[in-house]
Amino acid sequence: MELESILDIACTRAGLEAASKKRALEQASELLAEHYCELDAGQLLEALVGRERLGSTAVGEGVALPHCRFAACTKPVAALLRLAEPVDFEASDRRPVDLIFVLVVPAEANDLHLQILATAATALNDASYRHALREADTDADLYAAAIRSPEVRRAAGHP
């Protein structure tokens, strides 16, 4: 699955101000609910926070992949945030997080959920990809860096 099929520029934010993990998840929930009318921001926030209670979705190197399956979701959707200032996400490497890729999938989409997470994790594991995302000054630049990166294309199975 290609990233541009689940990530819309309207759900991409560069330089977002968020003082905490919960506030970042709240803003991501609001972004997704504004763009996808079937999603309720409050319920989505509860689902994402509930997932975080099971264990941090921070994967290290300043990256987090919050995710959940959500009954009201009709197709996989994502939000990408680059925070203005990193926040504590309880990462195993103790590094605060400034890149957050939020994934929401339909409740029954178990395999697809794991496939998309693996693709995102593979791409975000690449230092040059993370650097390109961190250098993006605008929402449009962040979106372009996210979907045009060779690392994302390779992770999605494209040359």
pLDDT band at 85; cut points 50, 70, 90:
very high
Task: Provide the terminal-to-terminal Cα distance of the chain, rounded to the nearest Å.
Answer: 14
Mean pLDDT of the chain: 90
Q: Report which secondary-structure segment, H or E, holds 16.
A: strand 7-16
Q: How many domains, the chain? A: 1
pLDDT at 114 over 50: yes
What is the arithmetic mean of pLDDT over 135-147?
Answer: 95
Q: pLDDT value at position 141?
A: 95
What is the arithmetic mean of pLDDT over 96-105?
Answer: 96
Q: Report which secondary-structure segment, H or E, holds 10.
A: strand 7-16
pLDDT tens digits, one per residue of 10-59 = 999 999 999 999 999 999 999 999 999 899 999 999 999 999 999 999 99
In a domain, 157, yes or no: no
In a domain, 156, yes or no: no
Neighbours of 26 (CB within 10 A): 18
Phi-psi region for residue 47, left (φ > 0), alpha (ψ -120 to 50) or beta?
Answer: alpha
Q: What is the CATH number of the domain that holds 126?
A: 3.40.930.10
In a domain, 158, yes or no: no
| Pairing mode, strands 67-70 and 77-87 | unpaired
Range of the domain at 56: 3-150
Q: Percent of the chain at pLDDT above 70?
A: 92
pLDDT at 150 over 60: no
In a domain, 159, yes or no: no
Would you call 158 a catalytic residue per the annotation? no
Neighbours of 81 (CB within 10 A): 26
Q: Report which secondary-structure segment, H or E, holds 148.
A: helix 139-148
In a domain, 41, yes or no: yes
Q: Which of 67, 113, 131, 158 is catalytic?
A: 67
In a domain, 155, yes or no: no
27 or 111, greater pLDDT:
27
